[in-house]
Amino acid sequence: MTFAADIFAGQKVAVFGLARSGIACARALKAGGAEVLAWDDGEAGRERAKEAGLELSDLRETDFSTLAALVLAPGVPLTHPVPHWSVSKARAAGIEIIGDTEVFYRQVRKTKGVKIAAITGTNGKSTTTALIGHVLRAVSLDAHVGGNIGTAVFNLPKPKWGRVYVIEMSSYQIDLSPTFRPDVGVLLNITPDHLDRHGSLEHYAGVKARLFANMGEGDTAVISADDAFCRAALDAVPQGAAKVPFSVKELLDDGVCAPGGVLQERAGGKTIQGVDLSMMKTLRGAHNWQNAAAAWAACRALGLNATLIARAFMSFPGLAHRMEILGETDGVLFVNDSKATNADAARRSLETFDDIFWIAGGRAKEGGIESLAPWFGRIRKAFLIGEAAEDFAGTLKEAGVTCEISGTMEAAVAAAHAAAREGGQARPVVLLAPACASFDQYSSFEARGEHFRELAKDIAAEAPRKGETQ
């Protein structure tokens, strides 16, 4: 049940953006004694609010000088391409603009003995967040996972001594969390993404680095050493906080590293503990070695025994739509990486497998797929869908990659399976790693991945009958 947030008790607070997190936050504030003025530009959001028992107040007609704060949904533009009208009104009135995660943090910190681990980065956030939560629960800690990963923070259990919250945070959420201070913060990587909302890669990286801005004595910053922006964030961690670097590219003297898939915790140039990640089917590829190294460091910072962490890793089931192994049919492996919504995420899949029959496309992000050229040699044929199909076909053909414009997921899966089955490769893989957003054809990357899964399941169901008639 949603717990009450009383930090604005007796005050008026505006909540703009009434999707899952906004509604949960508005209800928590109302339960805590605040007068909540809830609004959304869209009719669907207003209908959701009514169904949740919230009263609507048109903020366009509200005097913002009477408000204590504006709680803004993370999907609403704060700075780029232009501030939302509610942001402009709040700034003109001189009131703070915060998000639900900031409200949650302020409320949770009123309870002693609660810890927060926060995870951010361009790619790998959800897997790392889920892995940390899995390990904590495997050793019988009272751990709860939420935030950007799916469960709104105010839909998590209320705080009590000994509870650990593992929170995935997007750049939008960090931007709206000025006083947020996790006990353990994790930064996985920084590559171009959401630049339409941040204006530049430098600003985007600066927002990510603010996860650590309020840290001090007793806190731990777990940050990748594998890209320049992350290294800069590591250097900027405030004095007093512990700094733990991790890498999948090099053997660190101090920190956690996993070059070649062998995870090692090291101090003073010596390995203290290690685990062979190749034993884990749900954490394939260098990007997942990075996720595992970060999770290991975070769990160690939370006081866990290394042997118990290694044991818990082995039972991690993985996440849907993140390089999810769906099974093998007719000797063809089906892999669902619908969460690969940009080129860098798709790269992580392409570098994991050989003999790939690649399903890609959707609503393209800046840069297209040109950056994936070093991995084009792994692609036996590409099957392109959605708005980006024509552009992607041009890039691939120029590079000498065989491709066809399938248009729809149904056509792509059928053609990819047939080509993979007849191609003569030892271990062909039909890989959905779109390198695109889903919104041209699907409501979400989850819906896209579910469709792919159902189509793969249909092929598997048909395979025995085909075999009987041959």
For 8, the 3-state DSSP assignment is: coil
What lies within 8 Å, CB to CB, of 272 at 6+ separation is 264, 265, 266, 306
d(CA 369, CA 350): 12
What pLDDT sits at residue 470?
42
Nearest by Cα to 379 from 349, 360, 362, 354: 354
Q: Which CATH number fits domain 101-313: 3.40.47.10, 3.10.20.740, 3.40.50.620, 3.40.1190.10?
A: 3.40.1190.10
Q: What is the pLDDT of residues 277-295, one digit of tens each?
A: 887 778 888 889 999 999 9
With beta carbons less than 8 A apart as the criterion, state whether 259 and 276 touch.
no
pTM of the full structure: 0.83
CATH code for the domain defined by 12-98 = 3.40.50.720
Q: What is the pLDDT of residues 46-92, one digit of tens each?
A: 999 999 999 999 999 999 999 999 999 998 999 888 999 999 999 99
CATH 3.40.50.720: which residues of the chain? 12-98
**Hey, CA dihedral for 43, 49, 55, 56, is it positive or negative?**
negative
Rg, Å, the chain Cα set = 23
What's phi and psi for 172, nearest 5 deg?
A: -60, -40
User: Structure tokens of 169?
Assistant: 């945070």
CATH 3.40.1190.10: which residues of the chain? 101-313
What pLDDT sits at residue 467?
44
CATH 3.90.190.20: which residues of the chain? 324-462
> Using alpha carbons only, what angle is made at residue 344 by residues 377 and 320, rounded to the nearest 5 degrees?
100
Report residue 365 CA to chain centroid gap.
Answer: 17
Burial zone of 209 (CB within 10 Å; 0-12 exposed, 13-18 middle, 19+ buried): buried
* Class of domain 324-462 as given by CATH: alpha beta
Q: What is the pLDDT of residues 175-196, one digit of tens each?
A: 999 999 999 999 999 986 665 6
What pLDDT sits at residue 468?
45
d(CA 211, CA 205): 11
What pLDDT sits at residue 432?
98
Q: Work out the end-to-end distance of the chain between its first and last CA atoms, rounded to an integer number of angstroms.
A: 56
If you ran DSSP here, which 8-state letter would residue 375 be given? Answer: G
d(CA 131, CA 234): 22
Q: Residues of the chain whose pLDDT is less than 50?
A: 466-470
